[in-house]
Amino acid sequence: MLQTGRKIDIRKWKADAFESKEDVVAIEEPLQILVQNKAISITMRTPGDDKALALGFLFTEGILKSFSQVEDIIQTDENSVNVLLEESVLQQLPDLQKNFYTTSSCGVCGKSSIDKIYQISSFDIKSNNLKVEAKIFTHLQDRLLNVQTAFQETGGIHAAVLFDAQGNYFYHSEDVGRHNALDKLIGHVMIAGKLPLTKYILLLSGRSSFELIQKAAMAGISVVCAVGAPSSLAVDLAENVGITLLGFLKKTGYNVYSHPERILIDAS
């Protein structure tokens, strides 16, 4: 179960005076991800869904190709997950000496060069002919708030949400880290055997950064929309891999930064 918030006593300044109140802050704790008992990553996350987070991270980093390669997942303690892989898979893995030290605000910290950031998706996103009516996107933010319970409690939690092309809710995950929320979501759909996510829209509760677009590409997602702004690298990557990227999503409209051909305008 997701452990999203912790109650604390605070002093609130309001109407020229302090008052004592109880507040809820988002929980942030380290998770160590191991493969074959070897630590390869430490990420700051919201506790809960740790096994899905570990799987999603390993998949989006190109270490895993499918859930069938996993022999077992062991939660060794409250802040550590050990992923055991099939022996035949181990011989084909990239160098696990590479460490992926990340924080809740940076999904690519610790990478030694820009070349190591780029991963090759197994899915051809450019050929994905998914089409979405333009007006569908303007309703997604309200639907996000309906399912993002942790944010309503703490105000400090991000969400990654999947909708179908008609705007119907499919699944979501939450975490204090934007990239962790997406890794958790991808981990869950990976376990469920739903990859690639070619028929779904991904909605991000914050801004869209390079590493989030990379993770979306690894999962075969061709349409990504975000409540906040995209970074320049996010736009470049989306354009290069074939992702339709939307930003500043509101009820009244949004910006389209790449591949607008997937968005249909009702001419009636």
Q: Quick check: is 225 catalytic?
A: no
Residue 64: partners with Cβ closer than 8 Å, 6 or more residues away: 55, 58, 70, 85, 190
Work out whether strand 80-85 and strand 200-204 pair parallel, antiparallel, or are unpaired: unpaired
Residue 138: partners with Cβ closer than 8 Å, 6 or more residues away: 249, 250, 251, 252, 253, 254
Q: Give the burial class of 14: count Cβ atoms within 10 A of its Cβ; 0-12 exposed, 13-18 middle, 19 or more buried.
A: exposed
Helix (H, G, I), strand (E, B) or coil at 247: strand
Rounded distance between C-alpha atoms, residue 178 and residue 34, angstroms: 21
Name the active-site residue from 90, 96, 106, 134.
106
* Catalytic (active-site) positions: 106
